[in-house]
Amino acid sequence: MAAISRDEVAHLARLSRLAVTEQELDTFAGQLDVILQAVARVGEVAAADIPPTSHSVPLTNVLREDVVINCLTREEALAGAPDVEEDRFRVPRILDEEA
Amino acid sequence: MTTTTLPAYDDAVATFEPVIGLETHVELGTNTKMFCGCPTDFGGEPNTRVCPVCLGLPGSLPVANKAAIEATIRIGLALNCSIATWCRFARKNYFYPDMPKNFQISQYDEPLCVDGYLDVEVDGRTVRIGIERVHLEEDTGKTLHVGGATGRIHGATESLVDYNRAGIPLVEIVTKPVPGTGALAPEVARAYVTELRDILRGLGVSDVRMEEGSLRCDVNTSLNRPGEEWGTRTETKNVNSLRSVERAVRSEIIRQASVLEAGGRIVQETRHFSEETGDTRPGRSKEEATDYRYFPEPDLVPLAPDPAWVSALKAALPEPPRVHRKRLQESWGLSDLDMQSVVNAGAVELIEQTVAAGATAAAARKWWLGELARRANESGIELSAVGATPAQVAELQTLVDGGKLNDKLARVVLEGVVAGEGDPTAVMEARGLAVVSDTGALTAAVDAAIAANADVADKVRGGNLAAAGALIGAVMKTTKGQADAKAVRELILQRLGAN
């Protein structure tokens, strides 16, 4: 039984706004399945006494004082933008797919 | 509330029982953003308060703001919540350009504060609103939609994004569903947001300005017939004032009731409240919108608030607004009913500040609940936005008490103050509204009135003191209302030898 279905891959591709061809769906479903199966093996050795781990470093409460730093200048901030208009990041229409 | 909707509303709540729920977002008033040191002040030129972290540039790492964590814990404590001993941030993944990272750092299944309550008073009755959770996340940037009609996303050909607001600490406060309030549901919703706002303001954690968006509210509403299961709920967004909270619940109750009465079904959806029409419209359908693929934020380590720190924060909480109000009520000598009308008018703080500025409680109350409340109602705005400050009201009363203005003139001066003409003294002088206190001028006006109304003057001389009214009227007319009627009366009686 595959760990991830072709439909689920299509769903994820859509959520990630990736244009995936029918053929790629088959390829990625197979590849992701291998990855998930490998990760699932961790579950086989993790007994009830081992808490789920989201962070590999045993640290908590890394906090910063509420002190203002220098920001980027607007020119610096917008330097990497694909497009700029009125000092703002210009992005393509948002509701394209529903239009 | 237009009168035409009243019968429909009464019918709706006679047939159905509403269940409401509220989700409130509060921008914290910290100096810096949630995960970086960019400043948080409102306004500013677009994209001038951004850095690699809040722009989500590769290689940048977020670090949580201690002051924001502390503020959130204090909010949780003030709402009688339990504070988590260990919790994590989570990534909420979605594609929308208001976050440059394509995800928002939020909290998911491990909020910082859970399971509290807030008591609100409505119509002499205390309603306990359960608090499901209080969690911390980051605010989004602002998008400007271009090319469509009046800035709407529909029909826009492109959008322009300003990330100054992206990353500002945002606290989300979610209530449990509130059943059993019946016809009072809209007022309960409003009372809750009002009380919450007062608590937040008292804590000093936010400037809680609904009009500037630092306090935002989403309202969930559902209806069911008595004895049946709760109905499907809708979520109304874009509710940007206390008054709108009440209107939104009310209009949604009416709308849902008419759908149900006609045999229809309520669709679970997001709706948008319109300030202009006072009703709700369906929002953009967000298919699969809830598939946010949350996972623990790998770039931030877990939070484990020290219980000693939490206890210290709890011990240092300010007096809750309800207790504070009780104290004010006693010092102002108001009955429960009178205090309730002050609370309903949103005038507690305004009166408190007016008293602090030197006015008596009675005078402060008279102006705020009288002339100013009337104006706010007429314009459909909050009392605090009516255009007069507590200091100005106190100054106005000082002018009245000092005999420089009579009541009628004071109202005219107040009109000028509200119109933005300046402080009361300045308006009084600029408009030449002061009471005529120059005895010479007043005596001349009195003598002229006596001369012009000889028959009336004779009656007064003959002991008919009531007839003096006509003379007073004549004097007030020549002085354009700018005389103290009592002083005029005395002067008339004196000149006629009748006192």
Q: Per-residue pLDDT tens for B261-298?
A: 999 999 998 898 988 888 888 876 554 456 888 999 99
Cβ–Cβ under 8 Å, residues A55 and B298: yes
Q: Choose among B52, B160, B304: nearest Cβ to A86.
A: B160
Do B65 and A64 count as a contact with CB atoms less than 8 A apart? yes
Tell me whether residues A95 and B153 touch, CB distance under 8 A: yes
CA distance B154 to B477: 60
Q: Looking at chain A, which runs of residues are DSSP E strands? A: 63-64, 84-85, 88-92
Lowest mean pLDDT among A21-30, B33-42, B141-150, B155-164: B141-150
pLDDT > 70 in chain B, percent: 95
Is B291 close to A92, i.e. CB distance below 8 A? no
Last residue of a domain, one of B290, B314, B338: B314
Specify the residue for token string 């309030």.
Answer: B181
Domain that holds residue B376: 321-431
From A66's Cα to the closest Cα of chain B, the distance in A is 6
Question: What's chain A's length in residues?
Answer: 99
Cα gap B33→B66, rounded to integer Å = 11
Least Cα separation, residue A43 to chain B (angstroms): 18
Q: Which pLDDT value is given to residue B303? A: 97
Inter-chain touch B31–A80, beta carbons under 8 Å: no
Do A17 and B160 make contact, defined as CB atoms within 8 angstroms? no
For the ranges A3-7, A11-15, B288-292, B488-492, the lowest mean pLDDT is seen at B288-292
Q: In the sheet where B234-239 sits, what is the strand order?
A: B82-83, B113-122, B125-138, B169-175, B17-27, B215-224, B234-239, B270-273, B280-282
Residue B226: HSE in the Cβ half-sphere, 13 Å Cα cutoff: 6
Q: Which residues contact B311 (CB under 8 A, 6 or more apart)?
A: none
Question: If you measure CA to CA, which chain A residue comes closest to B291?
Answer: A15
* Chain A residues whose beta carbon lies within 8 Å of the beta carbon of residue B303: 60-61
* DSSP bridge pairs for B162: B142
Listed range (A56-65, B56-65, B231-240, B481-490) with the worst mean pLDDT: B481-490
Could you tell me which residue, B73 or B474, shows the higher pLDDT? B73
* CA B45 – CA B96 distance, rounded (Å): 22
Predicted local distance difference test score (pLDDT) of residue B317: 96
* Residue B222, φ and ψ in degrees, nearest 5: -145, 160
| Residues B381, B420: Cα–Cα separation, whole Å | 16
B158 to chain A: closest CA residue: A93
What is the pairing mode between strands B64-65 and A63-64? Answer: parallel
Q: B184 and B88, same structural domain?
A: yes
Q: Which residues of A touch B (CB under 8 A)?
A: 11, 14-17, 54-55, 57, 59-69, 71-74, 77-78, 80, 85-95, 98-99
Q: Is the predicted pLDDT of residue A95 greater than 70, yes or no?
A: no
DSSP assignment of B105-159, as one string?
Answer: EE--SS-SEEEEEEEEEETTEEEEEEEEEEEEEE---EEEEESSSTT-STT-SEE
Q: What is the pLDDT of residues B370-401, one digit of tens each?
A: 999 999 988 888 898 899 999 999 999 999 99
Cα–Cα distances (Å) from B108 to B94, B104, B235, B442, in that order, read: 14, 11, 19, 75
- Greater confidence (B306 vs B287) lies with B306
CB contact under 8 A, A95 and B154: yes
Chain A residues inside the 8 Å CB shell of B140: none
Instruction: Give B121-126's long-range contacts (Cβ < 8 A, gap of 24+).
Output: B121/B191, B121/B322, B121/B340, B121/B343, B122/B181, B122/B184, B122/B187, B122/B188, B122/B191, B123/B184, B123/B187, B124/B336, B124/B340, B125/B184
Q: With contact defined as beta carbons under 8 Å apart, do B70 and B203 qualify?
A: no
pLDDT band with cut points at 50, 70 and 90 for residue B3: very low
Our CA-based measurement puts residue B59 at a distance from the nearest CA of chain A, in whole angstroms, of: 15
The pLDDT of residue B166: 96
Inspect the interface and report whether the beta carbons of A64 and B37 lie closer than 8 Å: yes
CB–CB contact A92 B64 (8 Å) = no
Clarify whether residues B242 and B384 are in a common domain: no
Query: Would the pLDDT of B424 be above 50?
Result: yes
User: A69 vs B88: CB contact, 8 Å cut-off?
Assistant: no
At position B445, the amino acid (one-letter code) is A
- The three state secondary structure string of B229-260 is CCCCCEEEEEECCHHHHHHHHHHHHHHHHHHH
Whether residues A87 and B49 touch (CB distance < 8 A) is answered with no
Amino acid, res. B392: Q
Q: Count the alpha carbons within 13 Å of B139 in the hemisphere toward its beta carbon.
A: 28
* Interchain CB distance below 8 Å, A91 and B67: no
**Distance between CA atoms of residues B270 and B251, nearest Å:** 15
* Domain identity same for B373 and B296: no
Contacts 24+ apart (CB under 8 A), B176-181: B176/B21, B176/B129, B176/B130, B176/B131, B176/B132, B177/B19, B177/B20, B177/B21, B177/B220, B177/B230, B178/B19, B178/B20, B178/B21, B178/B127, B178/B129, B178/B130, B179/B17, B179/B19, B179/B230, B180/B17, B181/B18, B181/B20, B181/B122, B181/B127
Rounded mean pLDDT, B129-137: 98
Domain stop point among B314, B330, B365: B314
Distance from CA of B213 to the nearest CA of A (A): 20
- The reply to whether B295 and B374 lie within a common domain is no
**Chain A hits for B205, Cβ within 8 Å:** none
Contact A94 B97 (CB under 8 A): yes
**Interchain proximity B37–A88, CB inside 8 Å:** no
pLDDT digits (tens, 9 = 90+) for B330-351: 999 999 889 988 988 889 999 9
- Nearest-CB residue to A15 (from B52, B157, B288): B288
- Three-state SS letters, B415-458: HHHHCCCCCHHHHHHHHCCCCCCCHHHHHHHHHHHHHHCHHHHH
**Rounded Cα–Cα distance for residues B293 and B19 (Å):** 29
Mutation site for B-interface testing, chosen from A18, A70, A95 by largest number of B Cβ within 10 Å: A95
Specify whether B447 is located in the same domain as B386: no
Q: Are B452 and B485 in contact (CB under 8 A)?
A: no
Is the pLDDT at A2 greater than 90? The verdict is no
* Helix, strand, coil percentages, rounded to 5, for chain A: 45, 10, 45
The answer to whether the CB atoms of B156 and A74 lie below 8 A apart is no
How far apart CA B17 and CA B180 sit, in angstroms, is: 7
The tens digit of pLDDT for each residue in A38-84 reads: 988 888 888 888 887 888 888 999 999 999 999 999 999 999 899 99
If you ran DSSP here, which 8-state letter would residue B346 be given?
T
Q: What whole-number distance in Å separates Cα of residue B167 and Cα of residue B98?
A: 11
> pLDDT digit string (tens) for B15-26?
999 999 999 999
Letter for the amino acid at B323?
Answer: V
Nearest to B304 among A54, A60, A90 (CB): A60
d(CA B487, CA B106): 68
Q: Is the pLDDT of residue A99 over 70?
A: no
- Arithmetic mean of pLDDT over chain B: 90
> In this structure, are B267 and B309 located in the same domain?
yes
The answer to whether residues B412 and B472 belong to one domain is: no
CA angle B476, B479, B485 (to 5 degrees): 40
Q: So what's the pLDDT on residue A7?
A: 92
Does B393 lie in the same domain as B254? no
Q: Which of A54, A88, A90 to mutate to test the interface with B (most CBs of B within 10 A)?
A: A88
To the nearest whole angstrom, how far is the Cα of B142 from the nearest Cα of chain A? Answer: 10
Could you tell me the domains of chain A?
6-45 (1.10.20)
The distance of A23 to chain B (nearest Cα, Å) reads 24
Q: How many domains does one find in chain B?
A: 3
Taking one residue from A and the other from B, the number of pairs with CB-CB distance under 8 angstroms is 141
Please say which residue of B413, B431, B449 terminates a domain.
B431
User: Which pLDDT tens digit goes with each residue over B134-153?
Assistant: 999 999 999 988 877 666 77
Count of Cβ atoms closer than 10 Å to residue B492 Cβ? 25
In this prediction, residue B285 carries a pLDDT of 55
Are the Cβ atoms of A89 and B160 closer than 8 angstroms? yes
CATH of the domain at B481: 1.10.10
B296 contact residues in A (CB cutoff 8 A):
54-55
Same domain, yes or no, for B308 and B335?
Answer: no
Asked if A59 and B160 come within 8 Å (Cβ–Cβ), the reply is no
* Whole-number pLDDT of residue B24: 97
Same domain, B470 and B418: no
For residue B104, name the pLDDT band (cuts at 50, 70, 90).
very high
Residue linked to tokens 């509710």? B239
Q: Are residues B444 and B426 in the same domain?
A: no
Which of B65, B96, B162 lies closest to A94 in CB terms?
B96
Contact flag B302-A60 (C-beta cutoff 8 Å): yes
B169 with B285, same domain: the answer is yes
Q: Could you tell me the two tokens for B49? A: 């308060």
